Amino acid sequence: MQKNIICETASDLLDLIYPRLCAGCRTTLVKQEEHICTRCLYMLPKTNFHEDRDNPMEQLFWGRVPVEAAAALYYFERGSKCRRILHHIKYRGRKELARYLGFIYGIELAGCRLFSEADLLLPVPLHHLRERKRGFNQSEWFAGGLASGMGKELAADVLVRFEGTGTQTSKSRLQRWENVENCFRVDKPEKVTGRHVILVDDVVTTGATLEACASALLESTGVRISILTIAYA
C-alpha cells in the first residue's frame, strides 16, 4: 500500500515537472488518458472502412493487386490533428503512440470478420539505414499494437526492404511506384505460404508502397492479403 502511494506521488511529481500532453491538441492529459485526450479521440475523423466493403481504400487497389480487405483508422488531412499525431510518431520518436493507436484499433477489428480471420500481421519494412537513423519503424509499432488488440501473430522478419529510396512525399503516383518497384522481398516464404496476411503501414496515399509489398508476397503460393493503416489520405 505504502509502495503504491510512493509510486503515485512520484508519478504526480513527474507530471508536474514534465506534463503529459495530448499529441492532438497539446492539452494536459488526466490520469486515465494515454497519449491522446478523450476529446481528441472522439473528434478524430474515423473512416469506419472496416464496416464497408468496396470502400475507397479497397478501390485504390482494384486492378493493381488482389486485396481481401483494406481499412484505415483515420482520414488524413493537411493541418489536421491526425497529421499532427503522425508527425509526433515519425519525427518526434513517439513510437508508443503508434502502438497505442494500433491497440485501440485492434480491439475494434477483433470483432470484424474481414480481419479477424487473418493469420498474421506484416509491417511494411523501412530500409535498415533509415530505421537506424529514426531509431524505430513506426509501422512495426502500429502493427504490434494491432497484434495485441486482435490477438494475432506479428511477423516483422518476413518482408525485407533491400533498396533505399527517397521520400515519397512530393512524387506523383507513377513516380512513387517507380521509386519502390522491386524494393521488397520475402525472406521467409514458409511463414506466408497458404496464409491470410495483413500488411500494415502508417499512411496510404497512392498505395504504391503497399502494392510493391503485396506483389512480393504474391510470389508465394496461396497468399491472401489484407491491408491496415493508421490513416488514409
194: helix, strand or coil: coil
| Res. 229: pLDDT tops 70 | yes
Spatial distance between the Cα atoms of 198 and 74, rounded to a whole number of angstroms: 18
Spatial distance between the Cα atoms of 204 and 206, rounded to a whole number of angstroms: 6
CA atoms within 13 A on the CB side of 103: 11
| pTM for this model (two decimals) | 0.87
Give residue 76's pLDDT: 95
pLDDT category, 106, cuts 50, 70, 90?
very high
Could you say which DSSP state residue 124 is in? P
pLDDT category, 128, cuts 50, 70, 90?
confident
What is the mean predicted confidence (pLDDT) over 100-114?
Answer: 96
Mean pLDDT for all residues in the chain: 89
Give residue 18's pLDDT: 63
3-21 pLDDT, tens digit each? 444 444 444 444 545 689 9
Question: Which string of b and e fits 135-171 if b means at least 16 CB within 10 Å?
Answer: ebbbbbbbbbbbbebbebebbbebbebeeebeebeeb
Give residue 13's pLDDT: 42
**Of 3-12, 119-128, 167-176, where does mean pLDDT reach its minimum?**
3-12
| Res. 87: pLDDT tops 70 | yes
197-217 pLDDT, tens digit each? 999 999 999 999 999 999 999
| Res. 173: pLDDT tops 60 | no
Q: What is the CATH number of domain 44-232?
A: 3.40.50.2020
* Calculated CA dihedral for residues 89, 90, 93, 99, nearest 10 degrees: 40
Give residue 93's pLDDT: 94
| Res. 154: pLDDT tops 80 | yes
Give residue 171's pLDDT: 54
- The residue ranking higher by pLDDT, 167 or 70, is 70
Residue that is written with C-alpha cell 480471420 in the block: 117
Sketch the domain layout of the chain as residue ranges.
Answer: 1-43, 44-232
Spatial distance between the Cα atoms of 191 and 118, rounded to a whole number of angstroms: 13
